[in-house]
Structure 1
Amino acid sequence: MLTTEEKRFIRYWQEQRTGGKTSYFLLYLLLGSFIMSLFGLVILLFFLQLFFSWKLLIITVAISFVLTGLMTVLVWSRNERRWKSLIRREIKQGESTGNGN
């Protein structure tokens, strides 16, 4: 029997999947890169007291783009694995209850 949280995850991930992998990556890559760049610049400028330069901005944006891309790919694959295992478990449970076992 699937828990309420697992059923909620299945519905959520099916909606994400219908939107497509490309739109998922674009949304999270662009939004995540923007947020991570802002966070990185705040740390570099205020906490490490580095002076602003265009080179610093470009490096920060590039690093945040790469890190966000990796995180997006990892989250997608982890959610896909979880979704597939939950669907398999749901099918297996349906077969066992349907056979009278």
Structure 2
Amino acid sequence: MSKLDLAHCYKLTSIDAIDAIDACSLQWLQLSHCKRVASVEAIGAQSALTHLMLADLRAIAGIGFLAKLPALESFIYPGTRVIDGDLSLLAGLGYVHPRPKAAS
């Protein structure tokens, strides 16, 4: 499986089972409008991921798991707040939306 679309899974509460997918095969993941998902840390097991969309999830604790995704090229997260506010891992990515605001 190279692509997984979990859009509009309103009753979904956990994505921990994503680690059962072969880490070398999943390249594209969309998780959007799944506001009951409490943690997205399990995504860090998908080392071949190149595209990740976490749209309208309300809030996630942080994006530290992105450090485990060496192939990641794009990260899209409109409508999702990063609680710890640390967006430094986004600096090396080719495409990020929304772009982090520059420090003033």
Which bin holds the TM-score, normalised by the shorter protein?
A: under 0.3
Name the one with the larger helix percent: 1
* Greater Rg by CA: 1
Higher relative contact order (CA 8 A, sep 6+): 1
Name the one with the larger strand percent: 2
> TM-score scaled to structure 1, two decimals?
0.22
